[in-house]
Amino acid sequence: MKNLSEVEGLAVYTDSGDFFGEVEEAILKKNRVDGWKVRSARDSFLSKTMPGAKGVIVPHQLVKSIGNIMIVSRGAAPSFQEAEV
């Protein structure tokens, strides 16, 4: 079990291994974690899929694990297909 203050700044990865961003803060509702505000970091999957976005809110149901890093379901990421050159 972790305190919310220990989770701030954790690296967030998708369950497929892509770096997603960093935890900015928890969103609480009725004394329970309802979601996580994840900020986009340079060279992250999030910054590639949504270049202008500062971050996203990930529902807590999509969080698979929290330890030294946070792992979220790939479903938390917006759909993305790299442009073929």
Half-sphere exposure of 18 (CA within 13 A, CB side): 21
Cβ 70 vs Cβ 7: under 8 Å: yes
Backbone angles phi, psi at 29, to 5 degrees: -145, 120
Cβ 15 vs Cβ 63: under 8 Å: no
| DSSP percent split of the chain into helix, strand, coil, nearest 5 | 20, 40, 40
| Amino acid at residue number 77 | A
pLDDT tens-place values along the chain, 85 residues long: 677 888 889 999 998 888 889 999 999 999 899 999 998 887 877 777 777 778 888 999 999 999 999 999 987 766 544 444 3
The domains found in the chain, sorted by start residue, are 4-73 (2.30.30.240)
Q: What is the pTM of this model?
A: 0.79
